[in-house]
Structure 1
Amino acid sequence: MHIELTRKSAVALTGQIVQSFRDRIDSGLLRPGEKLPSVRNLSAFLKISQVTVSKAYSELEEKGYIACTQGRGCFVAVPPEEAPAARPNPEDWQLALPDYLPRAQLWRHYNEGEGMYRFNTAAIQPALLPSAEIGRNIQRLIAEDPALLGTYGPFQGDGGLLRALARYLAERGIAAGPEELLVTSGSQQGIDLAARTFVGPGDTVYMEAPTYTGAIDVFASRGAKILTVPVDAEGMRTDLLTRLCDTHPPKVIYTIPTFHNPTGVTMSMRRRQELLEIARSYRCLIIEDDPFSDLYYGEAPPRSLKSMDREGHVIYLKSFSKVLSPGCRVACAAASGGLISRLTAAKATADLGSPLLPQKAVEPLLARRRYDTYMSGLRDAMAARCRLVTGLLKAHAPSSVSWSDPAGGLNLWLTLPAWVDSSTVYREALKRSIVLLPGAACYAAEPQRNHLRLSFTQMDEEELREGTMRLCRVLHDCLAREKAGPPSKPVF
């Protein structure tokens, strides 16, 4: 495996190796029972001393991530109940094949488990989406013009959709003409395109702590130096960000200011203005990720950063995948000046442009009256689910457990007592057909391990009620077992 070591970093080489292995183990890239490179081989590959590697392995073993046996080597730790019978593995040769994936939490946690009650994915119950209408649009488009299936679309996106997106953004205070927009396959591709265009090894990227798992994966894969800034009730702590920027000037600041993923908080207008001032002072980019701003439950949220940006510092990512059609994956990036042409060039290299048919099928739903009517009903449905879950938690969860009270979006941020590791709750919940997202997956560096993210919008209300009640029983059982102190068992 490839491990990027920075010898001038404030983090010692031992710590960098430990973090790299922890990320791979937490992501499932290194599986339980998998053998690690020997101390000798890894030190030769990384061109560092065997003592440094030995210290890293000792720390990993102490933290419960690996198990080492004299004469056999070191292996990723295996929970006792999952321990397989010892046998030779003919695929061990793959350990000598370097990869460049520092972590892959998105891949692991969004597709893991066969649970009936799925709280792990920030998605909306399919029955609430306008899938039938989009399906009719697709049938009509194919009947009228079958050549759509045999035609490459423009790299920047279909012209009709770009004009519809420009009108949508203008209604929200963002002045961006079609020429300043780029259609992407979900905001995930937008993050990736921005990162591969503007972030290279060693560049400083600031992110909230916690933040969206998929964004961490992207910036880590670019070899960025990721620095994190805590989130409070007003969003990213811009006072702490300012202090950090004095020592480590930013190249990019990534933020989810509205109905933040995973905590659900919304950045105050004061901090939005401070964040823009920081970008102006350090001549850096802000990537504003906005998947949820249309899903407010009461008052509309504050203006976007992009709507206040006058000097071209903000790359704005707006996804419609969540609220219209995850299968169509329609989103856009908005950027001014020369940024959009560079992003378009990266898009062309990545996929030669998004498919035309989904773009044309979604476009009619972005008409103002149609979209606003649909979103009004969807907001009511999501708000009802949020009230249902928070009401059940208030009535049945342990008193030592707390949670956020979001004003919009799809997620609750659940906080356990400091001495409880959420991975314990996660594993116990899996046994009872409940799939969760451990909060540790949402941290780029040292994670806080006593959080869970609950997405309350994927199930119908009956399933949500039963799933939440089951989760409350899991919480009671786990806290009762752990109340004597921190768990002594390993972390997997």
Structure 2
Amino acid sequence: MHIDLLRSGSKPLPQQISDTLAQRITSGLLQPGFRLPSVRGLAATLKVSQVTVSKAYADLEKKGHLICSQGKGCFVAEHEQSGPGNGADWRDGYDDYLPRAQLWRNFGYSEVKYPFHLAAIHEELLPLGPISTTMAALVTGQPELMASYGNFQGDPELREIMRRHLQLRGIHLATSDLMITSGTQQGIDLVARTFVGPGDTVYLEAPSYTGAIDVFAGRGAEMIFVPMDHEGMRVDVLTRQCDARPPKLIYTNPTFQNPSGVTMSMARRQRLLELARSYRCLIVEDDPFSDLYFRTPPPSPIKSMDEDGHVVYMKSFSKVIAPGCRIACVAAEGNILSRLIAAKSASDLGSPLLTQGAVLPFIARRYEDYARTLRAALRRRMEKAARLLKQYAPPGVTWVLPEGGLNLWLQLPSASGIERLRELAEEEGISFLPGDVCYAGDLPSRFIRLCYSQMTEADMERGLKLFLILLDKHLRSLNQ
């Protein structure tokens, strides 16, 4: 069993082993009943003492992740603590390099009626008609697009359209400074695979986007989470942390942050860029939601102030117009971009020409008008959700209404009972995102994320009311 250990890191080795195995268990990579390697065997594999592994297993057993039996071994616990299995399948013991996979686990709600867990926009709000019409015309009129590899950097005409789009938002770059990716998730992965290795320090907001945490964990990075307040990432705290552990990379989702909905102030954006300059590191600015403001536009992107190429800016278009098309723009300069293009060529040989061509005319001619209409629709949903929260949320549950984006971030009175709440909600056809997946450790979180844009307006209202009534009943049961 492979585990990346940071032997010069600040976290003790038993805790590193325990945290990694806990993440594999909670994200479903290690199934209930799986038999872990013996203490002796794992110690030999990891080149650590048996005492180190014993401490890690004891910590996991204390937290309820393992059932250990003298002479039989340690097994991943069932959810209901029903006992160990036999772990006989050869594939169970086949080594992998995935430390966690929370993003994969939290897409697994195909049957729920009220999917509040997924930060997405309902199909009735998306411009699927005009995009599908364009795609159909391309398939019949230019079938050769399906027989061709695209430019590794992306279609030049689409990159020019995106250059103009970014220019309207204060980012002035050449078309040659842009690359098309299969969503920002691929962009994050390319940056991590190109510039982050085992033991490198990556700073993120606390909480942060689950998909980014999965990627950086997979690279063996030492992730350090920086607390947030109403102005976003606490750059003063980050500065003190950087004095102890200089950053290789800082990941931020500064506008209507996922999952919290907080927007970083302009002053913090400027200070963050100054910090990156002083430490000669990269900032990954993930920006899927800045066009989804409800009243006034958010502060300009950090990239708009970047004169030295410290910011790799990522703008998702598929998130807002057609998730299935998987189209995003990555903006960077010089050999930072050239190395990312090289990594992309090895990853996918270029994004599909068909999907790039399908979204191109819509982004060029109709996106701005569409975005205005979408903002109004999302604001209506958010305000209806706010009224339901005010009317039905139990005592002790708090939230701050976002000024844009797709999500509500609720703080519950306690972290206890959230897994049981999740089970009860699923029985009613409701899903939500538990906040603990938005951190890298194994600590329970008092937060949950609810997305108000993934359903029809009527379903959102029915589902949220049902969930809040269920939440009230659940919290009352905990206090009895």
| Residue identity matched to 2:377 | A
Partner Cα distance (2:178, 2:388) in 1: 43
Classify the secondary structure of the residue corresponding to 2:117.
coil
Return 266-275 or 42-51, whichever deviates more. Answer: 42-51
CA contact (8 A) 1:209 1:444 kept: no
Partner Cα distance (1:25, 1:424) in 2: 17
For structure 2, the residue ranges without an aligned partner over 5 or more in a row are none
Matched, 1:298 2:299: no
Residue 238 to residue 89, structure 1, CA distance change in 2 (3 Å):
closer
Summarize deviations over 1:204-235 as a string: whole Å, max 9, x none.
Answer: 11011100000000011111111110111110
| Residue identity matched to 1:5 | L
| Residue identity matched to 2:41 | N
Classify the secondary structure of the residue corresponding to 2:319.
coil
Matched, 1:76 2:73: no
CA contact (8 A) 2:415 2:447 kept: no
Matched, 1:170 2:167: yes
| Residue identity matched to 2:244 | T
Residue 83 to residue 433, structure 1, CA distance change in 2 (3 Å):
farther
Matched, 1:122 2:88: no
**Matched length:** 480
CA contact (8 A) 2:415 2:444 kept: no
- 1:40-59 superposed matches below 5 A: 40-59=40-59
Summarize deviations over 1:465-489 as a string: whole Å, max 9, x none.
Answer: 11101111221122112226xxxxx
- Structure 1 residue 113: deviation in Å? 5.5
Aligned to 2:376: 380
Partner Cα distance (1:88, 1:166) in 2: 57
| Residue identity matched to 1:366 | I
Aligned to 1:104: 101
| Residue identity matched to 1:459 | M
- 1:222-233 superposed matches below 5 A: 222-233=219-230
Aligned to 1:146: 143
- 1:77-476 superposed matches below 5 A: 77-80=77-80, 83=82, 88-91=86-89, 93-112=90-109, 114-367=111-364, 370-476=366-472
Partner Cα distance (1:202, 1:314) in 2: 22
- Structure 1 residue 57: deviation in Å? 0.9
How many percent identity over aligned positions? 53
| Residue identity matched to 2:151 | P
Aligned to 1:26: 26
Residue 260 to residue 87, structure 1, CA distance change in 2 (3 Å):
closer
Summarize deviations over 1:288-317 as a string: whole Å, max 9, x none.
Answer: 000000000010000000001111100000
- Structure 1 residue 88: deviation in Å? 4.5
Partner Cα distance (1:163, 1:88) in 2: 57
CA contact (8 A) 2:9 2:199 kept: no
Return 255-264 or 370-379, whichever deviates more. Answer: 370-379
| Residue identity matched to 1:449 | S
Aligned to 1:10: 10
CA contact (8 A) 2:35 2:87 kept: no
Aligned to 1:487: none
| Residue identity matched to 2:7 | R
CA contact (8 A) 1:421 1:449 kept: no
Partner Cα distance (2:409, 2:139) in 1: 43
CA contact (8 A) 2:34 2:75 kept: yes
Summarize deviations over 1:81-110 as a string: whole Å, max 9, x none.
Answer: x848x764541x334321100000000012
CA contact (8 A) 1:259 1:409 kept: yes
| Residue identity matched to 2:187 | G
- Structure 1 residue 338: deviation in Å? 1.7
Partner Cα distance (1:183, 1:113) in 2: 29
CA contact (8 A) 1:420 1:479 kept: no
- Structure 1 residue 422: deviation in Å? 2.3
CA RMSD of aligned residues (A): 1.4
Return 38-47 or 228-237, whichever deviates more. Answer: 38-47
Return 112-121 or 238-247, whichever deviates more. Answer: 112-121
Return 385-394 or 184-193, whichever deviates more. Answer: 385-394
Summarize deviations over 1:148-181 as a string: whole Å, max 9, x none.
Answer: 1111110000111011001101111101111000
| Residue identity matched to 1:16 | Q
Residue 414 to residue 23, structure 1, CA distance change in 2 (3 Å):
same
Residue 429 to residue 24, structure 1, CA distance change in 2 (3 Å):
same
Return 99-108 or 195-204, whichever deviates more. Answer: 195-204
CA contact (8 A) 1:317 1:333 kept: yes
- Structure 1 residue 355: deviation in Å? 0.2
- Structure 1 residue 247: deviation in Å? 0.9
Partner Cα distance (1:357, 1:113) in 2: 27
Return 53-62 or 266-275, whichever deviates more. Answer: 53-62
Partner Cα distance (1:59, 1:88) in 2: 22
Return 143-152 or 163-172, whichever deviates more. Answer: 143-152
Give the alignment's TM-score, normalised by structure 1: 0.95
| Residue identity matched to 2:419 | S
CA contact (8 A) 1:258 1:301 kept: yes
Classify the secondary structure of the residue corresponding to 2:315.
strand
CA contact (8 A) 2:252 2:284 kept: yes
CA contact (8 A) 1:410 1:456 kept: yes
Partner Cα distance (1:305, 1:165) in 2: 17
Partner Cα distance (2:255, 2:350) in 1: 28
Match of 2:479 among 459, 483, 486: 483
